[in-house]
A and B are shown apart, each in its own frame.
Chain A
């Protein structure tokens, strides 16, 4: 199947090791010092992007990244991502907060996909992370799929194998460490990726230079996409307290400790 259009939906999240703390802002909860926190491409969306590039190379397809996020942060993150694999970007300048409503995010993204010039739904595969690392609902992709009229959807995908005729099989993660293997007749379809099984591509300066020719202009003409933030109300967001009162048992005979532990385990 030649000429596939693989559209990856993905945005940015705080770099995973950052200390996060909620604060309440004028429009609801937000992260403290959000502007100062370094950001990365949402990890599962990142895997989706690398899988998309890998597939596009095999089928002579094209990869688009549709990203909803604050423009300045997206620019920064692109300097990390753009060296990885070739893609074109559609930038929607709006919030990437985990506190935004999934439905509003989905509507904005679907709009962004529809605007891709030359979009051909019969050749469309929509990729993304099966959950974001911010909101973690796993809801956005499904809704985008519905809005675009795609009813073959897969979530928690770790592998796609495409045949010559464009039909493919996927492995989805299900309970108990098992995989569900499904087949699909072909595009249009939607795949929410888990980690996949490709290693993170190396930074390739040539890919970076080429991507940047299109990314910088795309950033410059980003479509504003403010979310209304209607409907979803927060009664509060907090960090759970983890501190416990530790009882320290010293100088106790080993037998006693073992017995106490055995009772505790059996209880």
Chain B
């Protein structure tokens, strides 16, 4: 066993006989999510004059219109994961004649509810205050089906009038619209390895090597990742994108900012049972169960279909935080199960959210690059929305890039700040982000403080908040023994650990059983094993020829790690215990690229900095469901 991870160096050294090819374009874009949709749509619409001539000439290919290329990691534009309910202000502004019937699964929001869920099984770890509240609700007969419906939906959470979308179908539709305009090419199945930096300036991006084995060692058909040089790199690679994170590592964040608040959102799209009472356009938000830290959502599409799921945040200090099992318990809460029982899983998926919002905002612009979308801090944790915010940031950049192209101005930091960053600061995006900035600080201290803080902030438009100092995600994670103190003895945990490790299983199953969570009775349709969900819902697959994109920096650190949160939290059961000891095992073919392993590790990076012992890179493959 070696201590350092064994992947090949990502440097410039190539085996003899191979050359790294280079291509020049004008605008190179990373990631196709709603942010990039907003950008490319706005740009495409403005690149041609009324007489059909281009508004500017390509510098990369003189005589041609500007060459705009976008690279998306996933195998299709429709393989993203989200909720999605949105006010859709930015999206509607981009498509004034938006006809929702053209986008499969889309519909108007008709009805909203917030449900506080009591604990029907008695296994949830509730603070005393919450227990008292639960009791009171029961005594006064205010809870039905173990749930209390808030008398009204607080304004900051309200989405009406808004839209329900499927992220996959929306992205596919938006991508089709953009491609049809012929101004930009969007290439899925192409992970970008990182930015090409020279000092603080970005000169382009480098694509991931192909034709390598899992360690990154060249094999038959080796093709070194191409260097794409461009005047401008647009970084819209979302919460866990490799390009954005490398820029953060190299350039740091503006003083006082840090991106430490995370959550993993795990969801399903469900064919509701026949005769289900839920009406299309219904939006349910839940809190309180399966654990107080876990929020849930259920949105109803036309055709008796629902999008539903939970968020497991980084401030939920449980080292065996498995989103999959919690999702199953959440669905079986009586107030939801009465609608879901007999339903069928159509789709399943998971993805991280960067929940630091404004607090996690990086440098939005630099020489040769601009940042948009969730990776640039657009997601609003108070209102629980990210899609329209991401889209709008892209639109603002699109307008600005057109302005600079027309004026034949170079994409310097000053020029991008004068245009894009200024527009963003003057927009509703910034206004609302500021209100939300400290909304969740209270959760650093506890879930009750957090909930009160959120309500305070929301109701006073950001004037009041519950203060709390943030920690790096790995600093928060307690040992398993201390988390279960008073419930499961250290000896018993040791025995469970030994047994599970020998079988190559994570610990959460045994520990949750022991903590009183009922066994999940599989029905083969909606409640299925995690592996089955990967296939039936996620359709997970991985093309060969790419290196493992999840590696462990120091194997010795892993060997001595008692929590192994990476295994417990892995959304795809792609990380498993190594019966031989040492670093966990990673199976690329089960990975859904949710990025949860990035922040679900209890040990700091041996190299220091904000990160942990997991190295998460851009890889190909993952979910193949276009409905999430």
Contact status A205-B169, CB under 8 Å: no
Q: In the docked arrangement, what's the CA distance between A36 and B305, Å?
A: 14
Interface centre among A35, A37, A79, A206 (most CB of B within 10 A): A79
Contact status B541-A205, CB under 8 Å: no
Interface residue A83 (Cβ < 8 Å from any Cβ of B)? yes
Chain A interface, DSSP helix/strand/loop, else mixed: loop
Q: In the docked arrangement, what's the CA distance between A184 and B71, Å?
A: 43
Interface residue B574 (Cβ < 8 Å from any Cβ of A)? no
Which residues of chain A come closer than 8 Å to B76, judged between CB atoms?
A: 15, 38, 76, 80
Which residues of chain A come closer than 8 Å to B188, judged between CB atoms?
A: 79-80
Known contacts A19-B346, A36-B627, A76-B176, A202 near B221 by CB under 8 Å: yes
Binds B, one of A126-134, A208-216, A225-233: A208-216
Interface residue B77 (Cβ < 8 Å from any Cβ of A)? yes
Interface residue B172 (Cβ < 8 Å from any Cβ of A)? yes
Contact status A76-B536, CB under 8 Å: no
1/0 contact string of B522-555 vs chain A (CB within 8 Å): 0010000000000110011101110000000000
Interface centre among A15, A201, A212 (most CB of B within 10 A): A15
1/0 contact string of B607-628 vs chain A (CB within 8 Å): 0000000000000000011110
Contact status A17-B210, CB under 8 Å: no
Contact status A76-B77, CB under 8 Å: yes
Which residues of chain A come closer than 8 Å to B395, judged between CB atoms?
A: none
Using CB atoms, name the residue of chain A closest to B166.
A36
Known contacts A15-B624, A19-B346, A205-B207, A38 near B185 by CB under 8 Å: no
1/0 contact string of B227-265 vs chain A (CB within 8 Å): 010000000000000000000000000000000000000
Interface residue B326 (Cβ < 8 Å from any Cβ of A)? no
Interface centre among A18, A35, A36, A209 (most CB of B within 10 A): A36
1/0 contact string of A181-204 vs chain B (CB within 8 Å): 000000000000000000111111
Contact status A204-B185, CB under 8 Å: no
Which residues of chain A come closer than 8 Å to B190, judged between CB atoms?
A: 83, 203, 205
B residues apposed to A, CB below 8 Å: 21, 23, 67, 69, 71, 75-79, 104-105, 169, 172, 175-176, 179-180, 182, 185-190, 207, 210-211, 220-221, 223, 226, 228, 346, 524, 535-536, 539-541, 543-545, 624-627
Closest 6 CB pairs of A and B: A202-B210, A17-B539, A202-B223, A38-B626, A199-B221, A38-B76
A residues apposed to B, CB below 8 Å: 15-19, 33, 35-38, 72, 75-76, 79-80, 83, 199-206, 208-209, 212, 216, 243
Q: List 28 A-B contacts (CB under 8 A).
A: A17-B541, A18-B539, A18-B625, A19-B539, A36-B104, A36-B169, A38-B626, A75-B179, A76-B77, A76-B175, A79-B179, A79-B188, A80-B75, A80-B188, A83-B190, A199-B211, A199-B545, A200-B543, A202-B221, A203-B189, A205-B23, A205-B71, A205-B228, A209-B23, A209-B185, A212-B185, A216-B182, A243-B524
Besides A79-B185, A243-B524, 9 new A-B residue pairs in contact (Cβ under 8 A), listed by A number: A17-B535, A72-B176, A76-B76, A76-B77, A83-B189, A202-B221, A202-B223, A205-B187, A209-B69
